[in-house]
Structure formats: structure tokens, C-alpha cells
Amino acid sequence: MPRYKIILEYDGKGFVGWQRQANGLAVQQAVEEAIHAFSGETVTLFGAGRTDAGVHALGQVAHFDLRRDFSADKVRDAVNAWLRTNAIVVLA
């Protein structure tokens, strides 16, 4: 099962923080939903750190596993396409 590392930057305004929570949209949830939208797979995104509500990040590192093998460019471009309406960008 391929493991994918991504590097993100985001404007934390409008998010309840990094970690998925019941009280609003988290960065983790938004990215997991974008990955699911392009791959059809439900994933868990593991961040190297967490941010609180409203906190921005430059260079947040995270990883996830998929059953199918995609090129790194395909993952970046597809996730960014689905995140277009959020203040999140996959850099690599």
C-alpha cells in the first residue's frame, strides 16, 4: 500500500484547527475529503503536528495511505483541485 507524504500551507481562519472535531471543519477533515473525492478511498491523514483554531501553517507535513499507486504530481494536483474553495494548498 503506497504511503504519500504531503506538505501543506493553510490559512487557519475558518477552521477549528488541524485535528478533526465535531464542532466544525478541521484542516485534516477538509484534506481527507479532498483525497476521498479524487481517489474514491476513505483515508486517515496523519499530521506531524497540530494547529489550534485560527492558526495558519506554512510547511505542515502529513501522510496518508492509498491502495492505488498515483504519481506525486497527480496527488498534489488532484487534492488541490478539490481544495480550491478552501484556504489550503498542497505544496508537494
The full set of domain ranges for the chain reads: 3-90
- On the CB side of 7, CA atoms within 13 Å amount to 5
- Each residue of 28-81: pLDDT tens digit? 999 999 999 999 999 999 999 999 999 999 999 999 999 999 999 999 999 999
Tell whether pTM > 0.85.
yes
Name beta bridge partners: 61: 7
DSSP 24: B
CATH, domain 3-90, list 1.10.287.610, 2.40.50.140, 3.30.1490.190, 3.30.70.580:
3.30.70.580
Q: Parallel, antiparallel, or unpaired for β 57-65 and 46-47?
A: antiparallel
Active-site positions read 52
